[in-house]
Amino acid sequence: METVKSGLVDQVFLRCVEDCLEPIMLTNQFGKLTYVNPAWVMTYGYSKEEAIGQTPRLLRSNVQSEEFYKGIWATILDPKIGFWKGELTNRAKDGHHVPVLLTITPYRESSDEIVGYMGIAMDLSEQKTMEQQLLHQDRMASVGLLAGGLAHEIGNPLGVIRGRAELVLAQVNGNEVAASNLGIILDQIDRISGLIQSLLRVSRGPDLVPLKKLNLTNAVNDVLVLTSEECRRMGVLVRTQNLDLEVLADAAKLQQVLLNIILNSLHAIEEQKSREASAVQREHFVEITAKAKDGDRCLVVITDSGCGIPKENLDKIFRPFFTTKEVGKGTGLGLAMVAKLVDEIGGKVSVHSEGPGTGARFEFEFQQQ
């Protein structure tokens, strides 16, 4: 059998580890990082120099609890198990979350004494995004079925009810009480019709109309006209900045998107105000800013001083029917529609919030040409 010199074997192994596409880290027995490979540096954004000497705590996100991490170490140190393998979410240097499948194994010297630990992570970011998209499509498909059925089963009789109510209204002959009651009936019918329409809009296949270059200032102003009275009543300041840009979109869709986001912000501010003691009420705002990005894209950011979004809800709010509002106050279809419309105009949307009381920020990336 061919014998290979141990120095050569070491070199080959080092090259393998250096070239490996999965992030690899080694620590000493005290848990201090002694080595990280280039894939680790790429994935987490820390340089080798920044990482060496730190502990892997550097990568902790607040997605897992302290107990979870204690459980990992208990498993590794349990002589009957001796390693840990599982999914967790790390935090990169710039704060973004990196979902990984991580394996931690101790490594030993000939004396069998543990001299350190090796962690190999497999980045699951792409896989998780795909899973989310599939799940979303699946949900949309079932909402589509439901909406189609509902529109038919409820829509037709509702049309008849509305027609008859209008007829009766024309015949009340100055009976104000009857007229006002019929007015309420008509309003409620319109609310149900509106709900069915939103359901249909959310679940219909993509409606791809040709896009046009639109001036963002005009698009925002059109929406602010609709919300200005509500903002004035609530004492909410609307700040806009750098909106003099063009976006490639459909005017009606862009308006729907902006309107839904601003209305949500106003609701969130209302909620925040009700949580704040009246003595400490602060100034509330909705801020809309934009900037060009990479030549043909632009970033539009809408920030509010509302009640914020708990971390555990951040990945749920675009789902159809997810709402934290009281029954009858929200349908949970607003953001599902936003996500669909943004997709149709070739954009992207993401949400950011540091949790309750800290406001929320919706970031949009739109095409410019």
Positions that interact with Mg ion (CB under 5 A): 264, 334
Side-chain half-sphere CA neighbours of 196 within 13 A: 18
Min dist CB 254 to ligand ATP, Å, is 16
Find residue 249's DSSP bridge partners: 212
**x/- contact string, 295-314, with ligand ATP (CB under 6 A)?**
---------x-xxxx-----
- How far apart CA 27 and CA 102 sit, in angstroms, is 15
Q: Which two tokens stand for residue 105?
A: 């194994």
Let me know: does 329 contact 149? Beta carbons within 8 Å: no
Cβ proximity to ligand ATP, 91 vs 352, nearer residue: 352
- How far apart CA 229 and CA 231 sit, in angstroms, is 5
- How far apart CA 46 and CA 33 sit, in angstroms, is 12
- How far apart CA 242 and CA 217 sit, in angstroms, is 9
- Which of 227, 255, 331, 364 binds ligand ATP (CB under 6 A)? It is 331
Cβ proximity to ligand ATP, 294 vs 312, nearer residue: 312
- For residue 358, state whether it binds ligand ATP (rule: CB under 6 A): no
Let me know: does 331 contact 321? Beta carbons within 8 Å: yes
Cβ proximity to ligand ATP, 88 vs 317, nearer residue: 317
Cβ proximity to Mg ion, 99 vs 334, nearer residue: 334
Let me know: does 116 contact 28? Beta carbons within 8 Å: yes
Q: Tell me the backbone φ, ψ of residue 77, rounded to 5 degrees.
A: -85, -5
Min dist CB 164 to ligand ATP, Å, is 28
- Which of 64, 193, 240, 323 binds ligand ATP (CB under 6 A)? It is 323
Taking CB atoms, the residue at the shortest distance from Mg ion is: 334
- For residue 27, state whether it binds ligand ATP (rule: CB under 6 A): no
Min dist CB 329 to ligand ATP, Å, is 7
- For residue 99, state whether it binds ligand ATP (rule: CB under 6 A): no
Positive or negative torsion for Cα 224, 228, 230, 232? positive
- For residue 335, state whether it binds ligand ATP (rule: CB under 6 A): yes
By CB under 6 A, how many residues form the interface with ligand ATP? 22
Cβ proximity to ligand ATP, 115 vs 263, nearer residue: 263
Min dist CB 283 to ligand ATP, Å, is 17
Under DSSP, is residue 367 helix (H, G, I), strand (E, B) or coil?
A: strand
- For residue 98, state whether it binds ligand ATP (rule: CB under 6 A): no
